[in-house]
Amino acid sequence: MRYLIAILITLFCTIWLIFGLWISYYSYDVYIGQHLRLADDASVAGVKLDYLNQYKSAIKERILRNDARYFFTRDRLTRDTQLKIIDTLISRLSDMSQMDTKSFEYQQALLQVTGQEFDHTMTEINSVIHSCWIRQSIFVFCGLYLSWLVWLLGMIANINWVTVIEFALLL
């Protein structure tokens, strides 16, 4: 019986971890993150603008939690602040889409937006938004971190679940 409980705990933690990883990474990419990568891949300001607007809409629709952290929160690590930054990039792309695509100004502006601002958006802003996505569901958050921690501690300490259960029963 004790061995069965140990196997079930291990199986439960593993399934919970896999589900948390799937929700956290794959679902985020399908619903939100792909729009930003498509905007980065586009080579014309108008197409970049369309995909960036889709990214912003997806954030507003799917990200319900404003803070990216439970503790040590900062204004920079909030969804609303990051949306304001995205708005500035949308404004810039909107201005660029009105320019003549063959002009030197357009080429320089596109080079700067692609090289500097999208690189920042791809790494920093998307990371904050992804953290908001993870932390908006306590089930996913626990699935990622607590099940991983329980599973990892068991593996690192080389403790089998039977010993853990026996110890818990003694308390």
Domain ranges of the chain: 2-170
Is the pLDDT at 2 greater than 70? The verdict is no
Is the pLDDT at 71 greater than 70? The verdict is yes
Is the pLDDT at 171 greater than 70? The verdict is no
Mean pLDDT in residue range 17-33: 85
**pLDDT of 134:** 84
Here the tokens at position 122 are 């791809």
- DSSP for residue 67: B
- Under the banding of pLDDT at 50, 70 and 90, the label for residue 13 is confident
Mean pLDDT in residue range 57-76: 87
- DSSP for residue 101: T
Partnered with residue 78 across adjacent β-strands are: 67
Is the pLDDT at 137 greater than 80? The verdict is no
**pLDDT of 161:** 59
Which residues, in sequence order, are CB contacts of 68 under 8 Å at separation 6+?
77, 78, 79, 128, 129, 131, 132, 135
Q: State the pTM of this model.
A: 0.77
- Under the banding of pLDDT at 50, 70 and 90, the label for residue 165 is low
Quote the mean pLDDT of the chain.
Answer: 82
Tell me: the pLDDT tens digits for 74-90? 888 999 999 999 999 99
Which residues, in sequence order, are CB contacts of 123 under 8 Å at separation 6+?
none
Tell me: the pLDDT tens digits for 146-162? 766 766 666 655 556 56
Tell me: the pLDDT tens digits for 98-111? 999 889 999 898 88
**pLDDT of 156:** 58
Mean pLDDT in residue range 54-59: 96
